[in-house]
Structure 1
Amino acid sequence: MSRQKRRKHLTFDDSFWMWLESPETPMQVAALAIFAAQDEPATAVVERILTAFRCHRDVDPRFRSLLGYRRFPRRTRLEATDHIDTDRHLHHHALSAPGGEHELAQLISRLHSDRLDARRPMWEVHVIDGLDDNRFAIYLKAHHALINGVDAVRLFGRSLATDADAPITAPVWATVRRSPTKATAGRRRSSRVEVLTAIARATKTLWRAGCTDSPLVGPFAAPRSPLNVDEIGPNRQIATAAIELSRIKRLTKRSDTTVNDIVLTACATALRRYMIEIADLPDKPLVLGCPVSIAPEGSATASSIGIMFVDSATDEPDAEARLARIALSTRAAKEHQAALPHAALVGYAIVAMTPHTLRQVVPGAVAHVPPTFNLIVSNVPGPDRPLYLAGARMVGMYPLSLLFKGEALNITAVSYDGRLHFGFIACRTALPDVASLTRYLGDAFDELEDRYATALPDLERRPAG
């Protein structure tokens, strides 16, 4: 691989993901897309896709970037390369046909456990055939310092066609990024004093929240739980589920809440049942860390994210009361961040995450510093219409995220073509039965529907999965 020496550095918030990188906590995010071939064998479609992909040697700048490890607080060195060997990044797997969901989950669990090689640009694409029902899958994995979950879904969508008869599109690594949007257009630029003042004021409000009855969740409100272990192993276990968006939207209308409120409530309900069954439900409610993107599309800081802390109400036995508490908590968190000027969002996110960052970068801190939140739960908007590759329709898109030190579970959801697809990532040693959570998630939606059954007599039930 030839290189041209053009070095620069990542921003402070993008470097965060490299500082946290370790053999036990690889900071990589991924997406799993499943396709159904229409008029020809899936194996033939896969061969055509691989042939077409191997012909694309033009690589988007973000996928031509080498990341150099540097210890906190030194920013990560970024070095561009003129040429990469795409054969080292594109891989082909064949399951023993007919491969089912279990076999696919086993393969993806292994692939998601493998750490990306920093000697090359840190991304991989795996094309998988041998699935039953004439299906195949594509698994995209990239380091979070290069791309975040929202941007990954956006790029994946652009690399597919909206017409089944369209020719094979360029692979995701060859996708040409759109011109950067002008995030500051129509927005008054804040001075440095205004930004620092806003950050200080918001931080003070957040810290005081823990001492009041405010629905805003402050730091150190999260209890110790089975989801928070001192050490997690390097091996991951994944599980997936899908829910019809029509079910969720009907529930939002009856309860006067949002899609995100319903999703968080269903996740909290599933977690509550899981911990009751293992006889270890904390008396205090779990705290959910919910990432929000704070970087405009096309921004150079593509992985910039903020965070809001949400009361999960896992100590509440009533489903309707649990939903009400979660809705109140998310509304308070959104209003809290909305009061900040946009220029202060990155700085505030760094300050709000400082206790969590210290748990990650200070040796032994996980065992002594209380968790800032118990787990991450994300909800990412995705394409709302069918997408195709080589004539095959994408029938599922599952987001797969990462684990931090001391956190054994992550739940991420992405919407696509009328369904909400959930990806569960767990530490295999700490939570060996993560698949049970997908069943409990389906039961949680059933419970909410039963709660509002008299108000929604025409509600159609569809199973999860």
Structure 2
Amino acid sequence: MKQLAGLDASFLYLETPQMPMHVGALHLLELPVGYDGDYAEDLREHMRARMPLLPALRRRLLAMPLGLSNPGWVDAEPDLDEHIVEIALPNVNGQGSGMAELEAQVGLLHPVLLDRSRPLWKFHVFTGLESGPEGQPRVALYTQLHHAAVDGQAAVALAQVILDLSPEPRAIDTLAARGRRRGQLGTVGMLRAAVGQQWKQTVKLARSLPNAATILGGMAVKSLGGAAAEASVDKLRTLLSSVAEQTTAVVRGRKSVASLGPAPRTRFNVSLSATRSFAGVTLPLADLNRTRKRHGASLNDAVLFVIGGALRRYFAKHGPLPRRSLIAAVPVSTRAAGDTTSNNQATMTFMSLGTQLGDPAERLTHVMASSKAMKAQMAQLKSLMPTDFPSMGIPWLMQAGAMLYGRARVAEKLPVVANVVISNVPGPQLPLYLAGAKMLTNYPTSIAVHGLALNVTVQTYNQSLDIGLMACGEALPETAELAAYVEAAFMEFQALPVAEAAPAPAPTARKAAAKKAPSKKVAAKKPVAKATPRPRASTARRKAAAG
């Protein structure tokens, strides 16, 4: 048995019927031409062959005595007839169901909690879809994996095992793949394991405190006394320049993005119902990258700008559009490169979307500044965020608190910290196959929580940017409309002109005279040849024009 870390177990304790804690994706799959088999059964056989490489799908929860500590994982072979189910969709206008019907099914299935007596995952195979543009048969797959078992990047690692690079599945060495089994302990053994885990967690947390105090102290000294202590001219100029920039921003009505204030209250900042609304939208990754590079923006900057633009359009129609910027809660991975462990290694930060700004160019500048400020802070702080901590008594407290939070509608009474969750997960850039079917889309389906009724998760796949919009069905039933606004905001991003670089300052009279006067040694030898006149356009402007 292996006990869950504190962060992983938190997703179990916070789960309620109004707040399911599983993640997944909606995939549209294209079958080979002439296929007439049973895809759900083919998928079961495929997963049966891959199961030795998927320990996260071969384990179930084991509760600790009296719920005193975090539960543990024990090995359990999944019943694939229960974990992979087929759903036949209705025939719409004699052509089969389309994306609208698939999105509606995800909205209906997402609130259904996973059975905790089984491994915490389930696949839904949809049949009865309309054919592709050239008559290719299609099916769809909606996957569910509990967040206690995986985060976004761990789910990508699982997908790398399940999916193939060609329609022909690769061979798997099952004997080498299967590891040591985790058995079930008796009551005494579980209590001993719980106490031992508490001790390890306490010692680990205690050891991290001196390092945390050093980092936080250094940040405080740097932010409060660094420039004054040095008293150098250069640092004083930098400090004065920073104050001037912030003063100018305040005068123009634009608050400094480095220190976020409270978020405005919107219709998203409510307690959740037990319903969900879902929509997916795809953007061309090559066009997005081409545009963002022209503006010197990162992919994450581009995503935040597009989602912010879509939200601005939504609130402009449905009202009211907040005077202050909407704030996005943005998960940040703390996972080391190459780490594919099936657990959660992430923390949360906040970013301003600049939705109060009507000028798209100003809004992009705002988003990029907000992103830069966040990265500067997270570079030092993300190592301080614990993913494991002592949990004695925590299960009772967190479960009771989660139930009370929803029933008492606490979200409507507390100050608003953020308005929306926006998560960006990198994915594969090649076409992938599942049990012989080509995967066409990869729309993430993530978690909405009390007080944050909209979750936007983005994942790159096969030269596309697939976006999943998951929302409370009562707070935001119009996810399909919001998806259309995402496309409109992307077109606005493409049309945004590149800001021209400021012209170089004219040389002073003294410098100009010094340039024109040749040195005595050169004049004694021969006259200096005149330089060929350059065009007036600056190098920066030419580069900008060239894209």
Cα distance, 1:336–1:360 mapped onto 2, change above 3 Å: farther
Q: Distance in 1 between matches of 2:172 and 2:143?
A: 16
SS for the counterpart of 2:128 is: strand
1:33-432 aligned at under 5 Å gives the runs: 33-41=27-35, 43-53=37-47, 58=52, 60-67=54-61, 75-97=69-91, 98-133=96-131, 134-166=137-169, 192-198=209-215, 214-218=256-260, 221-229=262-270, 231-296=271-336, 297-298=338-339, 300=341, 302-340=343-381, 342=383, 344-346=384-386, 363=405, 364=408, 365-432=410-477
Q: Distance in 2 between matches of 1:57 and 1:22?
A: 29
Cα distance, 1:161–1:448 mapped onto 2, change above 3 Å: same
Q: Distance in 2 between matches of 1:77 and 1:101?
A: 39
Cα distance, 1:79–1:159 mapped onto 2, change above 3 Å: closer
Q: Distance in 2 between matches of 1:204 and 1:273?
A: 42
Larger radius of gyration: 2
Cα distance, 1:309–1:35 mapped onto 2, change above 3 Å: same
Deviation of 1:50 after TM superposition, in Å, equals: 3.5
- Equivalent pair of 1:17/1:27 in contact (CA under 8 Å): yes
Q: Which one-letter code corresponds to 2:267 in the other structure?
A: P
5+ long unaligned stretches in structure 2: 132-136, 180-206, 224-249, 391-398, 501-543
Q: Distance in 1 between matches of 2:480 and 2:216?
A: 40
Cα distance, 1:415–1:299 mapped onto 2, change above 3 Å: closer
5+ long unaligned stretches in structure 1: 1-5, 178-189, 207-211, 351-356, 460-465
Q: Which one-letter code corresponds to 1:420 in the other structure?
A: L
Q: Which one-letter code corresponds to 2:165 in the other structure?
A: T
Q: Distance in 2 between matches of 1:141 and 1:150?
A: 15
Which residue of the partner structure matches residue 14 of structure 2? Answer: 20
Deviation of 1:315 after TM superposition, in Å, equals: 0.5
- Equivalent pair of 1:240/1:424 in contact (CA under 8 Å): yes
Higher helix share: 2
Q: Distance in 2 between matches of 1:425 and 1:301?
A: 23
Kindly provide the CA deviation profile for residues 368-424 of structure 1, in whole angstroms up to 9, marking residues without a partner as x: 221221110011100011111243221111111011112211100100110000000
- Equivalent pair of 1:116/1:123 in contact (CA under 8 Å): yes
Deviation of 1:347 after TM superposition, in Å, equals: 6.8
Q: Distance in 2 between matches of 1:278 and 1:341?
A: 37
Identity %: 29
- Equivalent pair of 2:17/2:111 in contact (CA under 8 Å): no
- Equivalent pair of 2:52/2:178 in contact (CA under 8 Å): no
SS for the counterpart of 1:249 is: helix
Q: Which one-letter code corresponds to 2:358 in the other structure?
A: P
Cα distance, 1:145–1:196 mapped onto 2, change above 3 Å: farther
Q: Which one-letter code corresponds to 2:43 in the other structure?
A: I
Q: Which one-letter code corresponds to 1:375 in the other structure?
A: V
Kindly provide the CA deviation profile for residues 199-248 of structure 1, in whole angstroms up to 9, marking residues without a partner as x: 57669999xxxxx9642244x6211111111x211111110000001111
Kindly provide the CA deviation profile for residues 48-74 of structure 1, in whole angstroms up to 9, marking residues without a partner as x: 33344456664733223333679xx96
SS for the counterpart of 2:440 is: strand
SS for the counterpart of 1:425 is: strand
- Equivalent pair of 2:424/2:458 in contact (CA under 8 Å): yes
Number of residue pairs aligned between Structure 1 and Structure 2: 425
Deviation of 1:41 after TM superposition, in Å, equals: 2.7
Which residue of the partner structure matches residue 187 of structure 1? Answer: none
Q: Distance in 2 between matches of 1:16 and 1:433?
A: 30
- Equivalent pair of 2:63/2:72 in contact (CA under 8 Å): no
Cα distance, 1:74–1:263 mapped onto 2, change above 3 Å: farther
Normalising by structure 2, we get a TM-score of 0.70
Deviates more, 1:125-134 or 1:141-150: 125-134
- Equivalent pair of 2:44/2:80 in contact (CA under 8 Å): no
Which residue of the partner structure matches residue 25 of structure 2? Answer: 31
Deviation of 1:312 after TM superposition, in Å, equals: 0.8
Deviation of 1:346 after TM superposition, in Å, equals: 3.0
Q: Which one-letter code corresponds to 2:279 in the other structure?
A: A
Q: Distance in 2 between matches of 1:78 and 1:117?
A: 16
SS for the counterpart of 1:411 is: strand
Deviation of 1:359 after TM superposition, in Å, equals: 8.9
> Please, what is the CA RMSD of the aligned residues?
3.6
Deviation of 1:19 after TM superposition, in Å, equals: 2.2
- Equivalent pair of 1:38/1:392 in contact (CA under 8 Å): yes
Cα distance, 1:406–1:359 mapped onto 2, change above 3 Å: farther
- Equivalent pair of 1:306/1:349 in contact (CA under 8 Å): no
Q: Distance in 2 between matches of 1:128 and 1:196?
A: 53
Which residue of the partner structure matches residue 441 of structure 1? Answer: 486
Deviation of 1:257 after TM superposition, in Å, equals: 0.8
SS for the counterpart of 1:263 is: helix
Q: Distance in 2 between matches of 1:45 and 1:170?
A: 24
Which residue of the partner structure matches residue 5 of structure 2? Answer: 11
Q: Which one-letter code corresponds to 2:314 in the other structure?
A: Y
Higher strand share: 1
Q: Which one-letter code corresponds to 1:338 in the other structure?
A: A
- Equivalent pair of 1:64/1:81 in contact (CA under 8 Å): yes
Deviation of 1:258 after TM superposition, in Å, equals: 0.7
Deviation of 1:127 after TM superposition, in Å, equals: 2.0
SS for the counterpart of 2:109 is: helix
Normalising by structure 1, we get a TM-score of 0.81
